[in-house]
A and B are shown apart, each in its own frame.
Chain A
Amino acid sequence: GAVVSQHPSWVICKSGTSVKIECRSLDFQATTMFWYRQFPKQSLMLMATSNEGSKATYEQGVEKDKFLINHASLTLSTLTVTSAHPEDSSFYICSAGTGYHANTEAFFGQGTRLTVV
């Protein structure tokens, strides 16, 4: 299957700082990328959908000014958690969609464990 690389796999940051997470599709062009958040023993919650060259679409309840998403190219999307707080600690996962019906064949990155201290 297609490969999606997410970096870093884990990060610890101080409260109030910002953290950037990268999501790359290595062997295909992803017109759409998705960002999810997962709490322990819970399922994935879609945060936002990003399309290359346009603004991301955020799910209800997700603060767009806090979770900045940039989809600069067909192979790279970034999620920046701004002014992070301990409650932002979570497992963040990206996925990339191929084809017109984005997410029909969606492949996930390895995830990023964010810990805010």
Chain B
Amino acid sequence: DQQVKQNSPSLSVQEGRISILNCDYTNSMFDYFLWYKKYPAEGPTFLISISSIKDKNEDGRFTVFLNKSAKHLSLHIVPSQPGDSAVYFCAASDNNDMRFGAGTRLTVKP
């Protein structure tokens, strides 16, 4: 069963615009959420996280929003740059387990 879902397999955005990547989860016990970025032929790297006690966390151009009632989180990248083109995985965890979504391939066009 997929406890973490990224329903958009791909997203294409123009350079300078906002990229919004979405993620939904089903397990209400998840209380820590992360986004990872993966370039081809490399392992995923941690990008940003948010605890369930917050609804927003910002780090430079990257902001993660959490809507607990909707069991939904999103990653906003503003402004998007060509170097942001990668696969983005969201992940959700509780004390015992971390689950990953299937990933969204972001392409930022110059």
Q: Are both chains from one complex? A: no
Chain B positions near chain A (C-beta within 8 angstroms): none
